[in-house]
Amino acid sequence: MSDFTGRTALITGSTSGIGRGIADKLAGSGARVLITGRDLERGHNAVAEIRAAGGKADFIAADLHDAASAKALAAEAVALAGEVDILVNSAGIFILGPTAALTEADFDATYNINVKALYFLVAALAPPMAERGRGAIINITTAFAEKGAVGPAIYGSSKAAVGLLTKSWAAEFGPSGVRVNEVSPGAVLTEGTQRVFGEAVHDFPNGTPANRVGTPAEIAAAVVFLASDEASYIHGASIAVDGGMAI
User: How many chain residues touch ligand NAP (CB under 6 A)?
Assistant: 30
**Amino acid letter at 199?**
E
**Closer residue to ligand NAP (CB): 27 or 140:** 140
Which of these segments, 57-65, 99-107, 146-154, 164-172, binds ligand NAP (CB under 6 A)? 57-65
Nearer to ligand NAP, 113 or 137 (CB): 113
37 contacts ligand NAP (rule: CB under 6 A) = yes
Choose one: 32-40, 125-133, 170-178, 226-234; the region binding ligand NAP (CB under 6 A): 32-40
Residue 205 near ligand NAP by CB under 6 A: no
DSSP structure string for 154-199 = HHHHHHHHHHHHHHHHHHHHGGGTEEEEEEEE-SB--HHHHHHHGG
Instruction: Indicate if 155 belongs to the active site.
Output: yes
User: Which residues does 190 contact at the CB level (< 8 Å), separation at least 6?
Assistant: 16, 17, 18, 216
Near ligand NAP by CB under 6 A: residue from 188, 224, 239, 245? 188
CB of 12 to ligand NAP, least distance (A): 6
By CB under 6 A, residue 44 contacts ligand NAP: no
Give ∠ CA 192-195-198 in degrees, rounded to 5. Answer: 115
Q: Pick the piece of the chain touching ligand NAP (CB under 6 A) from 7-15, 22-30, 78-86, 122-130.
A: 7-15
* 88, amino acid identity: V
**Residue of 2, 30, 42, 83 interacting with ligand NAP (CB under 6 A):** 42
CB of 79 to ligand NAP, least distance (A): 18
- Cα 159 to Cα 56: distance, rounded to the nearest angstrom: 30
- The two beta strands, 238-241 and 86-89, are unpaired
From the list 106, 146, 172, 191, which residue makes contact with ligand NAP (rule: CB under 6 A)?
A: 191
Q: Which is nearer to ligand NAP, 1 or 247 (CB)?
A: 247
Is 65 an interacting residue with respect to ligand NAP (CB under 6 A)?
A: yes
Nearest-angstrom CA–CA distance, 85 and 87: 7
Active site residues: 155
Binding-site ranges for ligand NAP (CB under 6 A): 13-19, 37-39, 42, 62-65, 90-94, 113, 140, 142, 185, 187-188, 190-193
